[in-house]
Structure 1
Amino acid sequence: MATRLPPVHALSAFEAAARHHSFALAAEELCITPSALSHRIRLLEDYVGERLFIRDGRSVGLSEFGRRYLEVVRAALRTLSDFPMPHRSASAQPRVKVTLPPTFARYLFLPRLSEFTERYPDIAVEVFLSVPLYDLSLSESDIEVRFGAGKYPNIVTEKLFEEPAFAVASPAYLEKVGPLRQPSDLARATLLRSALEPWQPWFEAAGLDWPEPSAGLRVDDLGLLLEAIRLGYGVGLSRRHFAGDLLARGQVVRLFDVQIATPPHAYYMVYERQVKDRPEVVVMLEWLRLLFSGAAP
């Protein structure tokens, strides 16, 4: 039977927190968020089956078991770090970890990333995905882009951009359902639902006193929502950054001269304040601001 070993990243988090007597300082040293460090400590406590720290308000102290275990952990980490490595002298490449919503990553970030890598070829970029409105805790990434209402306490939050949302449908669907000449004609259409693009604000802009649709297909991913629209499942809301190419090719068409000037959800850049101590993170932040702040469709 294979021996189950404790995760090394949790051991290093434990050693740093014990040395600093602070989760915040340990997280800063390891270039992760305090919440990520707390997660690693909990992971190690689950592994050993004992509490490692005694938490009293803001102060953190080792438990009796934690003091004894710390000696073992330090000896193990010292053995690993002291082992001679052939390429130990090579300097580590600076890297930036970015967490993005899938649609933002696919339509907005990756098509433009070459601009960043050409300008900063020595910085490695690592891209991770998160689900909007669900993955709300800042991960181990340095920078996260979120699609939501922008209410994220205890972290730095900057709005990247917002743009109007409007109704679109495929020509095939319009041929099936008949012409939709005015917003009230949507009463005989199938409205595609999404928590990311609620219909209620659009109804208000169109002068319709209608409730939010509660039946029919629901898709909580903007890219999949647009794909469902293109495939003719019904009428949905989209934005020009995402639907621009399909509109240009005629695969979807815009309906009516109604749009939500200020949608309830927009794209925000969030990060812990201490990541700005790293130059590679600062240049990524500046690049994202320049690229998307006030961006035109």
Structure 2
Amino acid sequence: MLPRLPSLNGLRAFECAARHLSFTRAAEELSVTQTAISHQIRRLEDELGVRLFLRSKDGLALTEEGSAYFPGVRSAFRELRHSTERLLESSDHSVLTISTLVSVASKWLLPRLPSFREAHPEIDVRISAMTRLVDFRKVGVDAAIRYGNGEWPGLRADWLMSDEIFPVCSPRLLTGDKPLKTPADLAHHPLLQVSGLTANDWNDWLHAAGQPPLTAKGPRLTFDLAMMAVQTAIDGQGVCIGRSTYVDDDLRAGRLVAPFDLRLKSSSGFYFVTPQENAESKKIVAFRQWLSEVL
């Protein structure tokens, strides 16, 4: 008789913990607690009658038995994922849902999207624009364009592009009663900025430009969405601290100008992010390839 298969939950916990060599990262990927992972592994070890992990103050390691067991379990889960993808893609799953920031969607992604639709008319694209990170498994999102350092447990992150930080304004502000000729002239104009991750952009740029603290404490207008700050700058109501990702198109169109040459390189960047188990599905591979071509 064939041996009875052990608990699927236990095998899943083992595969994930063995891949990361961490119960904590396995818990994050599977959206459960670290205690739950530990209990599932313990039950699996009891069921099999062997120890799979060595636990010590220095970290987690596979036993000899665990090292021998892991490749087969990992291969089985990969095959399950691929079989499921093929099943879903052969039915009605030609819809690709992308989550990204509102500013990236409106200022960068949407103007370029027609070329993807032309190349892949069989894939329906849905854009979910939001300011918070999403849980892929809970909200039905296939992939995301995220800003950060590329480290998200359980997710594949492919580098897309970096940002440059610099002031932008309406061409009208270069002339008039208080023309913008040097960074010191910023003291005479409202400074437009975006809250959240980019809230300190003005202070960083002004410091790099050698401007005194008084300039950095000048009047500000703060917005939740970058597109609102950019539109306010286009309307001539102040100078926006822009990021190349969402101001380059307006610069090319002449709606905005960059009054100064100084640009700061952001330490983070944009990534195309997908759950590891779906990273090689046809629709995601197609979108990833398209992104590499339009950048």
Shorter-chain TM-score: what band? 0.5 to 0.7
Change (3 A) 1:237 1:283: same
Letter in 2 for 1:166: F
1:126-170 Cα offsets, whole Å, 9 max, x none, are: 221121xx4365553121101344443442222211242221122
The answer to whether structure 1 residue 112 and structure 2 residue 112 are counterparts is: yes
- Conserved 8 A contact 1:157-1:268: yes
Write the letter of the residue equivalent to 2:293.
L
State the partner residue of 2:9: 21
- RMSD of the alignment, in Å? 3.6
Contact 1:144 1:269 (8 Å CA) reproduced: yes
Deviations 1:157-208 (A, max 9, x none): 2221124222112244555660122112222322112242611331233123
**Which residue of 2 is the match for residue 254 of structure 1?**
258
Q: Which residue matches 2:36?
A: 55
Alpha-carbon distance between aligned partners in 2 of 1:270 and 1:149, rounded to the nearest angstrom? 12
Distance between the aligned counterparts of 1:167 and 1:200, measured in 2?
12
**Equivalent residue, structure 1, for 2:276:** 273
Matches within 5 A, 1:18-97: 20-21=8-9, 38=31, 55=36, 57=38, 59=40, 91-97=91-97
Deviation at 1:254, TM superposition (A): 1.8
Give the AA of the match of 2:251.
L
Q: Deviation at 1:20?
A: 3.3
Letter matched to residue 104 of structure 2: F
Corresponding position of 1:152: 152
SS of the residue 2:263 aligns to: strand
- Counterpart contact for 1:170–1:253, Cα < 8 Å: yes
SS for the counterpart of 1:253 is coil
Gaps of 5+ in 2: 1-6, 17-26, 43-89
Counterpart of 2:133 (choices 118, 132, 135) is 135
Task: Tell me: CA distance 1:93–1:137, structure 2 relative to 1, closer, same or farther (3 Å).
Answer: closer
Q: Which amino acid aligns with 1:135?
A: L
Q: TM-score, normalised by structure 1?
A: 0.62
Q: Which residue among 213, 229, 237 is the counterpart of 1:225?
A: 229
In the TM superposition, 1:159-174 aligns within 5 A as 159-173=159-173
Structure 1: runs of 5 or more not aligned: 1-18, 29-33, 40-53, 62-89, 293-297
CA deviation map 1:62-114 (0-9, x unaligned): xxxxxxxxxxxxxxxxxxxxxxxxxxxx9324332211111211222222222
Q: CA deviation at 1:250?
A: 4.1
- Residue 186, structure 1, aligned to residue 186, structure 2: yes
TM superposition shift of 1:229 = 1.0
- 2:126 corresponds to: 126
Counterpart in the other structure of 1:14:
none
